């Protein structure tokens, strides 16, 4: 059975995220993204596909407020986040669960503490049972005390996913979340994402796996040479 | 099991040469303790000297015509013995006066020298008679005499003690400042060494205050431990001095008292406070609005 992550009580906006005319470029380099318009309604499920270097990760970084757009406007949960001051970023980020392509696990913490991190940062002290249940569900029940350097690539990926979904964020952004797991686990994780989506979570998943994207039943976006188009 | 997991620090252990920082802070705290104890000892010594000077006065008697010096001095001593605030007055005969001058003048010149007639006065330490009171009593007895209550020396000793105390306080503040600067440097190095950790915390919803709190706790505890070691070492040294040298320590110039140990007790707390404030300032400065996470808009 899929575990039931908890969700914080927050004011809901009909649109979880909106990008209007967003462009992004690093200094002295061609723009990575140009004129991106994207709306993620609340409870929607999108796959983002495209070749390597198309700008998928950059687009996700803009949505997690890890980068600011060069041009355009980003609205999250009904609030303009384009130039949100640093003090306001934690409030946005606590409503977003992110699976990073490089996992971004803390090597000095156990798998349990890594998974529990967003809950701990949000001040939730009564999370042990939920964390253990989620770790068991992603197949890390016997690895709860293991440090990330001792985990395999697939285990790290599952741990990163557990961390992203445990606090039951309103928006889940995942960068290649099934890139390091076997097909069976990829299917299992897809079912987790579908369950979360049915419960109202908005999802945007960047993936090379177009077969998985098709089977998900989610809307599919394609990013190529900095331009975004809807495939399905 | 799970409760202990969640209490683990969110910063890696020894991320930025913390053993070295601990050693530096311990040494600085040791020096601060020496400065504090030295200042207190100097103040105590000066008060002792000033107190002794305050309890003594010297009267020089000039015999009138037809009266010998010894007679005038004896009369002055008798007069002064009856004054309130005087414990004892003793006329110094010529032999005693020569003994006082011999170390400076030698034997050769003394027999030909007109030595002043002196009266040594020991005053009541609780309510000493003042110089004007003594002068008045001598004048009323028809004696021509001048009174030296050592007030000039006392002022100079007290001034020197105040200067030494101020220097000790300045040394203490300088050492505290150096400890703070060391923590600022270490906190910034720690922040740079843990940039990936800090970014991960930030991207998972940690506020800057929370991240700063992690560093403040880390360096505060470290400084408290180092302060304990530094103060403990100073206390051990002080105990050794007290046991070896008694109440005067190793020199009467710096008398050590057991009560000085109380001065050392707040040092760990002061070190921790300095470290916490320094870490807070350093981290919040480096986590400024444009320091981490989102870059600037535009290029």
What percent of chain A is predicted at pLDDT more than 90? 59
- Closest chain B residue to the Cα of A163, Cα to Cα: B204
* Chain A contact set for B208 (CB, 8 A): 86-87
- How many angstroms away from the CA of B268 is the closest CA of chain A? 29
Residues A7, A9, A14, A15, CA torsion sign: negative
Among candidates B6, B197, B202 on the partner chain, residue whose Cβ is nearest the Cβ of A120: B6
pLDDT at B251: 64
CB contact under 8 A, A67 and B3: no
Q: What is the gyration radius of the CA atoms in chain A, in angstroms? A: 17
Tens digit of each residue's pLDDT (9 = 90 or more) over A156-208: 999 999 999 998 899 999 999 888 788 888 888 888 899 889 989 999 999 88
CB contact under 8 A, B208 and A66: no
Q: How far is B6 from B15, CA to CA, in rounded Å?
A: 20
Q: Could you tell me the pLDDT band of residue A1, with boundaries at 50, 70 and 90?
A: low
CB contact under 8 A, A106 and B208: no
CB contact under 8 A, B2 and A108: no
The ipTM value here is 0.87
| Range with top average pLDDT, A113-127, B95-109, B241-255 | A113-127
- Closest chain A residue to the Cα of B196, Cα to Cα: A104
Among candidates B13, B200, B293 on the partner chain, residue whose Cβ is nearest the Cβ of A104: B200
- Closest chain A residue to the Cα of B293, Cα to Cα: A66
CB contact under 8 A, B293 and A89: yes
Instruction: Quote the strand ranges of A161-216, DSSP E.
Output: 171-175, 202-206
Residue A69 CA: distances (Å) to CA of A20, A36, A61, A76, A79: 10, 10, 10, 14, 16
* Chain B contact set for A98 (CB, 8 A): 203-204
pLDDT at B5: 60
Least confident piece of the model among A23-32, B1-10, B129-138: B1-10
pTM: 0.73
pLDDT at B245 over 80: no
Give me the half-sphere count of Cα atoms (radius 13 Å) on the Cβ side of residue B161: 20
B7 part of contact set with chain A, CB < 8 Å: no
Average pLDDT value for residue range A204-221: 87
Q: Could you tell me the pLDDT band of residue B288, with boundaries at 50, 70 and 90?
A: low
Structure tokens at B206: 């940690």
- How many angstroms away from the CA of A6 is the closest CA of chain B? 16
Average pLDDT value for residue range A30-51: 92
Tens digit of each residue's pLDDT (9 = 90 or more) over B135-146: 999 899 888 888
User: For residues A13-35, b (16+ Cβ closer than 10 Å) or e, as one string?
Assistant: beebbbbbebbbbeeeeebbbbe
CB contact under 8 A, B207 and A122: no
pLDDT at B73 over 90: no
């Amino acid at each position: 059975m899929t575990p039931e992550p908890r969700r914080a009580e927050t004011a809901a906006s009909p649109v979880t995220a909106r990008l209007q005319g967003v462009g992004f470029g690093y200094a002295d380099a061609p723009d990575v993204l140009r004129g991106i318009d994207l709306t993620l309604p609340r409870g929607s499920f999108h796959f983002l596909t495209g070749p390597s270097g198309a700008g998928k990760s950059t687009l996700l970084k803009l949505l997690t407020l890890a980068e600011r757009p060069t041009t355009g406007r980003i609205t999250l949960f009904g609030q303009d986040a384009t130039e949100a001051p640093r003090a306001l970023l934690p409030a946005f980020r606590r409503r977003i669960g992110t699976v990073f392509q490089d996992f971004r696990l803390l090597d000095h913490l156990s798998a349990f503490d890594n998974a529990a991190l967003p809950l701990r940062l949000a001040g939730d002290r009564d999370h042990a049972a939920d964390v253990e249940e989620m770790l068991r569900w992603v197949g890390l029940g016997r690895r709860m005390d293991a440090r990330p350097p001792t985990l395999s690539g697939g285990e790290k990926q599952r741990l990163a996913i557990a961390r992203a979904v445990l606090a039951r964020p309103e928006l889940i952004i995942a960068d290649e979340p099934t890139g390091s797991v076997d097909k069976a686990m990829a299917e299992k994780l897809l079912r987790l994402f579908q369950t979360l989506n049915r419960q109202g979570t908005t999802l945007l998943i960047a993936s090379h796996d177009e077969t998985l994207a098709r089977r998900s039943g989610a809307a599919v976006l394609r990013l190529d040479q900095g331009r975004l188009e809807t495939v399905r | 099991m799970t409760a202990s997991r969640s209490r683990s620090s969110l910063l890696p252990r020894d991320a930025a040469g913390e053993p070295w920082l601990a050693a530096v802070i311990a040494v600085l705290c040791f020096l601060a303790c020496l400065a504090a104890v030295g200042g207190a000892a100097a103040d105590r010594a000066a008060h002792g000297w000033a107190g002794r000077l305050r309890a003594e006065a010297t009267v020089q008697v000039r015999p009138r015509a037809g009266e010998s010096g010894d007679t005038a001095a004896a009369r002055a001593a008798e007069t002064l013995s009856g004054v309130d605030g005087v414990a004892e007055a003793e006329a110094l005969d010529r032999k005693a006066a020569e003994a006082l001058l011999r170390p400076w003048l030698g034997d050769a010149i003394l027999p030909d020298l007109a030595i002043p007639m002196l009266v040594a006065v020991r005053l009541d330490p609780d309510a000493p008679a003042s110089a004007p009171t003594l002068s008045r009593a001598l004048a009323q007895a028809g004696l021509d005499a001048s009174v030296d209550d050592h007030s000039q020396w006392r002022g100079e000793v007290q001034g020197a003690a105040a200067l030494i105390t101020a220097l000790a306080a300045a040394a203490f503040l300088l050492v505290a400042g150096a400890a703070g600067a060391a923590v600022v440097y270490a906190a910034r190095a720690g922040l740079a060494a843990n940039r990936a950790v800090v970014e991960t915390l930030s991207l998972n919803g940690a506020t800057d205050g929370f991240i700063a709190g992690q560093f403040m706790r880390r360096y505060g505890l470290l400084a408290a431990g180092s302060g304990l070691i530094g103060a403990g070492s100073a206390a051990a040294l002080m105990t050794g001095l007290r046991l070896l040298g008694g109440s005067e320590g190793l020199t009467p110039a710096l008398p050590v008292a057991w009560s000085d140990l109380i001065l050392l007790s707040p040092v760990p707390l002061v070190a921790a406070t300095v470290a916490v404030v320094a870490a807070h300032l350093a981290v919040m400065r480096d986590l400024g609005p444009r320091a981490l996470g989102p870059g600037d808009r535009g290029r």
